[in-house]
Chains A and B, each alone.
Chain A
């Protein structure tokens, strides 16, 4: 792979990470356009496999870009693409967070924190709602609601919930 392609790829990923408000999955369509349609570095199947692995594997969803990097050029590709995706926006977040903390006595900063929290809770609900539309069947929805209730009201171990979910999935119940 030529240096020019690498630079294009990394610059685009760094740029996309600055557009990823509300999570990396928000810019997944743009990544698809870049690496599948534009630069033809991975196939459509490979891209979908990367997204699936990102869901299957523990950790931040953003790690699916590591799989893309791996598909493109092995471990070094994974490292480079993760660096481009995470470091520039992380540096930005670091300074904004420090600025906010230093100015947390200001009325505007406090109002911002208080005022944006319902927006963010709304974003979480919306994410759940959109993903829920991908499921069908009443038993699936009941399980989903039960999980929400358990997470909300109890401290049952989350891995236990995941394991039960996996078993129900294997059994074909959800």
Chain B
């Protein structure tokens, strides 16, 4: 994990800016879906596992999480400059778009076909979130931690937030330590096994 090999990477800061602008401008209702597609599947800057690792950290850290993720990725390739450029790509053009919409909102607010379109798009957005979750499953390192514990953890998180309506903080504090201890134990025995094979 620590030895990083980039199958491919952005050549310069303008490519970084371009890619993140493109991601942000396609991200209706869920930037993370577009980001996973673009960076893992299409441009192959990261493996599914590396991407999931960074996404995990960005989710757990406070603040707008796709913004956090963008700056982490930018930093990984070009240091602090890259962080600023990736974050700017994420924000500049979309905020121009949203402010243009904001300044003309009164005229469109009562328009019912538009409301229908928004409803349809939000259905697609929720489907995309679900699909992204399914897709990121393959980034979980089942070779190390197996399948059973991750499935249990996922199910408990969904149960706590989705059904019991507990806050995210409780779900993370409730399931995180258990998942961490299991991963630590599994990783240790995985590394021991590897070492004894050598």
Contacts and interface: CB of A to CB of B under 8 A. Distances in A.
Contacts of A150: 127, 131
A136 to B, nearest CB: 11
A167 B109 CA distance: 18
A5 interface: no
Contacts of B32: 124
B10 interface: no
A11 interface: no
Contacts of B56: 113, 116-117, 119-120
A26 B60 CA distance: 13
Interface string B141-169: 10011000111011111101110000111
Contacts of B149: 118
Interface residues of B, number: 107
B121 A144 contact: no
B144 A85 contact: no
A119 B150 CA distance: 8
Contacts of B72: 93-94, 97
B129 interface: yes
Interface in B25-53: 25-29, 31-34, 37, 41, 52-53
A66 B64 contact: no
Interface in B49-72: 52-68, 71-72
A86 interface: yes
Interface in B64-111: 64-68, 71-72, 75-76, 80, 83, 87, 90-91, 93-95, 97-99, 101-103, 105, 109
A60 B60 contact: no
Contacts of B131: 147-152
B13 interface: no
21 contacts: A17-B63, A20-B63, A58-B25, A59-B94, A63-B95, A86-B64, A89-B61, A90-B63, A90-B68, A97-B68, A119-B157, A121-B52, A125-B157, A127-B129, A143-B124, A143-B127, A144-B123, A147-B123, A152-B131, A158-B26, A161-B127
Interface of A: 17-24, 26, 49-50, 52-64, 66-67, 70-71, 75, 78, 82, 85-86, 88-90, 92-94, 96-98, 100-101, 104-105, 107-108, 110-132, 135, 140, 143-152, 155, 158-159, 161-162, 164-174
The 3 closest A-B pairs by CB, nearest first: A169-B120, A59-B94, A151-B131
